[in-house]
Amino acid sequence: MKFAVRRCHARLAAWMVCAGIALAGMSAHATPQSGWWWNPAESGRGFFLEVQGPRMFMAGYFYADDGRPTWLVSNDLMPDPNAYDARLLSVTGGQTLVGDYHAPSVPVDAGPVSLRFSDDRRGTLTWAGGTIAIERYAFQHGADATLQPKTGWWWNPDENGRGFSVELQGDHMFIGAYMYDTDGMPVWYVADALMESPGVFRGPLYHVANGQTMGGSYRPPSAPTIAGSVRMEFSAPDRATVTLTDDHTLAAKTSKTIVILPQYVLHPVGPMASAKFWVGGFDWKRVFTFDDVVNEFAVDVPIMTWSQPVDLDTGRYPAFYKRVPVSRPARDRLIFRKETSRWAPTGPTTRE
Higher pLDDT, 30 or 148: 148
pLDDT above 80: residue 79: yes
Q: What is the 3-state secondary structure (H, E, C) of 267-330?
A: ECCCCCCCCCEEEEEEEEEEEEEECCEEEEEEEEEEEEEEECCHHHCCCCCCCCCCCCCCCCCC
pLDDT above 80: residue 232: yes
Higher pLDDT, 309 or 12: 309
- Give the pLDDT confidence score for residue 80 in this predicted structure: 87
Planar angle of CA 248, 252, 253, nearest 5 degrees = 65
**Sign of the alpha-carbon dihedral angle for 344, 54, 178, 143:** positive
pLDDT above 80: residue 39: yes
Nearest of 58, 84, 57, 74 to residue 110 by alpha carbon: 74
- Alpha helix stretches (DSSP H) within the chain: 2-28
Q: Would you place residue 139 in the very low, low, confident or very high pLDDT band (cuts 50, 70, 90)?
A: very high
Per-domain boundaries in the chain: 2-30+266-350, 35-262
- Give the pLDDT confidence score for residue 292 in this predicted structure: 63
β partners of residue 295: 288, 332
- Give the pLDDT confidence score for residue 15 in this predicted structure: 35
Q: Would you place residue 31 in the very low, low, confident or very high pLDDT band (cuts 50, 70, 90)?
A: confident
Is 111:117 a contact under the CB 8 Å cutoff? Answer: no
**CA 86 to chain CA centroid, nearest Å:** 13
Q: What is the mean pLDDT of residues 157-181?
A: 95
- Give, rounded to a whole angstrom, the gap between the first and last alpha carbons of the chain: 14
What amino acid occupies position 270?
A: G
Taking the CA atoms of residue 313, residue 316, residue 318 and residue 319 in that order, the dihedral angle to the nearest 10 degrees is: 160
Euclidean distance between CA atoms 50 and 248, whole angstroms: 31
- Give the pLDDT confidence score for residue 157 in this predicted structure: 92
- pLDDT tens, residue by residue, 45-61: 999 999 988 899 999 99
